[in-house]
A and B are shown apart, each in its own frame.
Chain A
Amino acid sequence: MGSTGRVTTVTTGSPLPSGGGAPFAALVGAALREPFGRRARHELLFCLVGGVQLWLCLLGVPAVVFGLAWLSVMLGQAHGGSLPPVSIAAAAAGTIAVALLLVLAAPCARRLGAAHRRLAARLLGDTVPAPPPVRPGRSLVGRLGAGLRDAAGWRAMAYLLLKLPVAVFELYAVFLAAGVINLTYPFWWGMFRNHPPEVQLRPVLALTPFPGRVLHVGTFPGTFLAVAVGAAMVLVAPWVSRAAVSADRWLIRGLLGPGRLAQRVRDLEATRARAVDDSAALLRQVERDLHDGAQVRLAALAMNLGMAKEKLGDDGDPLDLRQARHLVDAAHHGAKGALIELRDLARGIHPPVLDNGLADALATLAAGSAIPVELTTDVPVRPTPAIETIAYFCAAELLANAAKHSHANKITIGVASREAVLLLTVTDDGAGGADPDRGSGLSGLAHRVSTVDGRLDVASPPGGPTRITVELPLRA
């Protein structure tokens, strides 16, 4: 569950134009424009920088290590016969080189991987969170061991190795893009090839899509062939780069991220923080409601009764029954108001009918709705109380939302359990256009649902209907 708590929106867009020549022309136009788009530029740049860097590093690191090994062997030889034979020195140097490679591989791969991740973020807009940092050991051995045990580092190494073939295609895409040079041939042909006819010049070379092969251009009309080849290369380049980059992105997401376990920990941390915040906010809200509601009413009620007592001749005050009746009336009114407020507050904390099960609670909820509600429940196995509570409050909030914004004539609530999942769907035939990103209560609900690894999906195209699906585990 990598993306718990995210709200997914499904909106059906405008229908695809059916058949005919116009769409084909549009497609060709788009394909022709593509090489000059911003996205194509960024992808090509990604291919260039990433590919070159990868090959340089993967060739460079072993080169340095083996260079060191070679140096030590040379030094051993230089000392002559009094020292161990060359073969032993070479073996020792080889062992050291392999050990060095092993110890340095993960940390180096981690750094290189981070560079690729940043490159992807900047050029492709693909933000992949960084893996958790390595916990370094205290001693030298511990520190070296930490490098060996760094799973994220080894995954980065896997990425670099798997990227090698991808990078071949990425660099090939860059090469294809270089076909743009061919387009210039006709322009400078006239400038540099205006020699007398008897002068024999060697043909100039132009790029072809096959890296090993070149085009020999000997005549001015020949330059147009070069242009045609170059144009084809330039037009094809973005598609090659896109394919390679797609593969690369897939690798980056899979191997340069925090890893499934770390991602899970991260999700849990985030949802736990939200759950803690939510419960603190809820308590604050309850305090606030009590303070501004029932408490004030009761204080005013006590005040009215205090005044009424005086009017009844308490403490030798003059008797004034009319006033006293008026004050008792106000107190009576206040007491009823306080009762209502306390009842609403208590029900808001936990609806008692929920103890009888979700079906009863939802039936009560549906009965109180301003818009007619059709309720179907099919929950043979009772979920845990926490899940029931969340499902109930989701339904209540969604119902309230629908009543407030949708202008619907009918709402359908369905609750069903499927294996270990409780599925709550709230559908209305209203105006649609519910957007979880526009700070509605939907994102709050999604947060709440995510604390138990549930998810909330919103399908609300403009014009309706709106269908909101809440998926919860049966046990939490």
Chain B
Amino acid sequence: MRVVIAEDAAVMREGLIRLLTDRGHQVPAAVADAEALLAAVAEHRPDAAVVDIRMPPTHTDEGLRAALELRRDHPGTGVLVFSQYIETRYAAQLLEENAGGVGYLLKDRVADVAEFVDALARVAAGGTALDPEVVGQLLRASRHPDGLAALTPRERDVLTLMAEGRSNAGIAGALVVTAGVVEKHVASIFGKLELPPSEGDNRRVLAVLRYLRP
């Protein structure tokens, strides 16, 4: 996988480069601001870009704006936005049109290297990777509290993992159950929430997020 990194803290940037190259991925460019990111993506056409939200010059949301621009201009590049805080508004902006090829994670998640790289690979392949924190906020602010209340605790776990963008296999791995059990839970959830059955992880994430959207 070829990944462009945009992160203004050198220690983090170097760490990410190391983390990715160590696992056999390529990092054709690692930059420190949004403008350089746009140029690097246009030049290298990577599979994915890891984008910090707060970058120079204003240290507010230039990373997010660059990410939205990348989503519009380079649909082939997955965008993984990561930051030290989760803002629901930013998540909503990122997911506005579709949930494919996009991720939004807390920076803390890099501590679990395998999971982080997994999430990045999912985003690069056109999937979704939402931070549990984002999903938690969405669940709390959902407009369908009744539908969610009808779920069993286990189904809620599965729904959360689905919203994070994981496949059935991924969910099974995380909950230490078989794929068959996950499938059953998923079917039950879709029944209870009256969601149309959807094929493919991507469409499924979209259906779930649409349901959860406040």
CB contacts under 8 Å to B, within A377-396, are none
The residue of chain B having its C-beta at the shortest distance from the C-beta of A320 within the complex is B22
Q: Flag if B114 contacts A299 (CB, 8 Å).
A: no
- Does residue B57 face the partner (Cβ distance < 8 Å to A)? no
Shortest Cβ distance from B48 into chain A, in angstroms?
Answer: 17
Q: Flag if A299 contacts B12 (CB, 8 Å).
A: yes
Shortest Cβ distance from A331 into chain B, in angstroms?
Answer: 10
- Does residue B15 face the partner (Cβ distance < 8 Å to A)? yes
Q: Flag if B113 contacts A299 (CB, 8 Å).
A: no
Q: Flag if B15 contacts A292 (CB, 8 Å).
A: no
Contact with A along B35-67 (1 / 0, CB 8 A): 000000000000000000010000100000000
List residues of chain B with CB within 8 A of the CB of A305: 111
Q: Flag if B110 contacts A302 (CB, 8 Å).
A: yes
Shortest Cβ distance from A212 into chain B, in angstroms?
Answer: 75
- Does residue B152 face the partner (Cβ distance < 8 Å to A)? no
Q: Flag if B113 contacts A310 (CB, 8 Å).
A: yes
- Given contacts A291-B54, A295-B84, A306 and B11 within 8 Å (CB-CB): no
- Given contacts A291-B54, A291-B84, A295-B84, A302 and B108 within 8 Å (CB-CB): yes
CB contacts under 8 Å to B, within A293-328, are 295-297, 299-300, 302-307, 309-310, 315
Q: How many residues of B contact A (CB 8 A)?
A: 19
Contact with A along B3-24 (1 / 0, CB 8 A): 0000001011001101100100
Q: Flag if A334 contacts B11 (CB, 8 Å).
A: yes
Q: Flag if A296 contacts B9 (CB, 8 Å).
A: yes
Shortest Cβ distance from A337 into chain B, in angstroms?
Answer: 8
Contact with A along B103-120 (1 / 0, CB 8 A): 000011011111010000
- Given contacts A291-B54, A291-B84, A306 and B12 within 8 Å (CB-CB): no
Bound complex: CA A222 to CA B130 (Å): 105
List residues of chain B with CB within 8 A of the CB of A266: none
Shortest Cβ distance from A218 into chain B, in angstroms?
Answer: 84
Q: Flag if A292 contacts B9 (CB, 8 Å).
A: yes
Bound complex: CA A297 to CA B107 (Å): 11
- Given contacts A288-B59, A291-B54, A291-B84, A303 and B110 within 8 Å (CB-CB): yes
The residue of chain A having its C-beta at the shortest distance from the C-beta of B7 within the complex is A296
List residues of chain A with CB within 8 A of the CB of B11: 296-297, 300, 334
Shortest Cβ distance from A288 into chain B, in angstroms?
Answer: 7
- Given contacts A296-B12, A297-B11, A300-B15, A306 and B84 within 8 Å (CB-CB): no
Q: Which 6 A-B pairs have the closest CB atoms?
A: A302-B111, A306-B113, A296-B9, A303-B110, A300-B11, A306-B111
19 contacts between A and B (CB under 8 A): A288-B59, A291-B84, A292-B9, A295-B84, A295-B107, A296-B9, A296-B84, A296-B107, A299-B111, A300-B11, A302-B108, A303-B12, A306-B110, A306-B111, A307-B19, A309-B113, A310-B113, A315-B114, A334-B11
